[in-house]
Amino acid sequence: MTIANKTVLITGANRGIGKALVEEALRRGASRVYAGTRGPSVHDDPRVTPLTLDITDPAQIAAAVEQVESLDVLVNNAGIALYDDLTDRSAIEQSLAVNLFGPLDVTHAFLPLLTRSRGAIVNALSLAAIAPLPIIPAYSISKSAALSMSQSMRALLAGRGVSVHAVITGPVDTDMNAGLDIPKASPESAARAIFDGVDSGEEEIFPDPLSETIAQAWRDGPAKALERQNAEYVVDRNYTATFTVDQSPAEVFAAITNVRGWWSEDIVGDTDKLNAVFDYHFRDVHRCTVQITELVPNERVVWTVLDNYFDFIDDKTEWKGTTITFEIAEKGDKTELNFTHHGLVPEYECYDVCSDGWGTYIKGSLWDLIETGKGKPNVGEAITDGERALASDRSYTKTFTVQQTPDEVFAAVNNVRGWWTGEIDGSTTDVGDEFTYRYEDLHVSKQKVTESVPGRRVVWQVLEGGPTFVGVANEWAGTSIEFDIVDQGDRTELRFTHVGLVPDYECFDACSDAWGGLVTGNLRDLIAVGALTSRA
């Protein structure tokens, strides 16, 4: 990962290697550098944002998280070294608090941002983690523990796309080493080597002449080999789905790239071209912007989520920065498809709903498209259990089927005066149209047409008003009235939902009765016979 145009947070940034890392990140073109220290000072470069951050203080960590909007690289540099002889337990406890638990707590706090950016964690350790210095044994113990923590983090976070780098530093000319009469590297040269290692993807970075002497032996040695072997025990916790079909890899690839055929017919943009960007939305519940970042015919498709919005969780952008892969492989005379949403893990707030959704669309709709040539994409109506729960929220709904075509149903819905009994002022057919509905002295409301997709969907937003016989003025304001039209072959289904009209509303009983007569009575008659029957 290059530092250019990235956001970097460095703890212990006021002196020594930390200060040098701030300057080096700026030199490499970082867009923002958060300089975390216990007593931050002002920096001349406007790209530097000082953070008050004692890494042993949970309140300061939480406050820092609130100030950082995005993060690509976290450098856990803050540390402490105490001269001791292991006779004072408090020296060990203090060293562990700063050198082990501090970086652990900071990492956990910023992990959601790093997951979103598929970022990097850089833990500043020491040669003492491998070969302890007996004059600072508590420090050596804490750094050894931090090395083990870094190795475990690396395995555990790989599935989220977050890399972990351990910096095995030898003697550097800092305050911490002021009492040692030995050759020392400069903080500036160490900072350059650290970011060079991050750029090149080195898991362990040896940033000075002394540490560099063991670099190759470490990378080729049995300890590193055993670390990689042990990492295989970590189960991939990203959401995955796999199935096998009789069709060829070419047919599977064609189906995957026909995203409107299995995920949503409302997708806008190309879905079968490298670097193309398309938009997905499901009502106001979920919107995302996706770029096709890999497209290898008959083998592999990769999407990167550029932006995302959920209206039902606290982190509205939870998918942002994640990647979605489709791996196609021949298995004898069959084809296997492996789907993975990298970054969609059980810790995500949306995991249950999102995994349910992918299960339906991948193992259901996409499989159907491959096997039968016809998928079951979303056409604006809820398909999965999660979508139904989120979209309806106990809202009033009615469904019926007719023999007429989707276009005929669409025309009848837009002929509002033909089925909604009462007085209507204004146009009702085009997006942006506003109209007022009145029924005697019992109801007055103003609606705006916000969606109109011929043969598929109509949505009105209620701007104001509602029944006049209830105690709550404007009870309908902010609700929406949705008509979803679904082609079922020789029949057409109309799904009506008054989103927001729930049993808690004072008017619910009267309004649901009225909608029942208007929708399954008047509107259905208008569609089926072209006029209202005596039920009107």
Kindly list the catalytic residues: 139, 143
Partners of 396 in beta bridges: 498
Q: CB-based burial of residue 196 (10 Å sphere; 0-12 exposed, 13-18 middle, 19+ buried)?
A: middle
Q: How far apart are CA 222 and CA 229, in angstroms?
A: 10
- The count of residues in the chain is 536
- Decide if 136 contacts 180 (C-beta within 8 A): no
Q: How many CA atoms lie within 13 A of 182 on its CB side?
A: 12
Spacing of C-alpha 157 from chain mean position: 15
Q: How many CB atoms lie within 10 A of CB 268?
A: 13
| DSSP, residue by residue, 34-56 | EEEESS----SSTTEEEEE--TT
Own/partner pairs, 352-358, CB within 8 angstroms, 24+ separation: 352/386, 353/312, 353/384, 353/386, 353/389, 353/390, 354/239, 354/319, 354/386, 355/239, 356/384, 356/385, 356/386, 357/384, 357/386, 357/387, 358/239, 358/241
- Show the tokens assigned to 391: 């979209």
Partners of 11 in beta bridges: 36
Q: How far apart are CA 233 and CA 219, in angstroms?
A: 20
DSSP, res 236: P
Q: Are β-strands 120-124 and 204-205 bridged in parallel, bridged antiparallel, or unpaired? A: unpaired
Partners of 257 in beta bridges: none
- Show the tokens assigned to 321: 């920065």
- Decide if 178 contacts 161 (C-beta within 8 A): no
Q: CB-based burial of residue 49 (10 Å sphere; 0-12 exposed, 13-18 middle, 19+ buried)?
A: middle
**Sign of the dihedral through C-alpha 386, 391, 392, 394:** positive
Q: How far apart are CA 331 and CA 120, in angstroms?
A: 36
Spacing of C-alpha 94 from chain mean position: 37
Q: How far apart are CA 383 and CA 377, in angstroms?
A: 8
Q: CB-based burial of residue 164 (10 Å sphere; 0-12 exposed, 13-18 middle, 19+ buried)?
A: buried
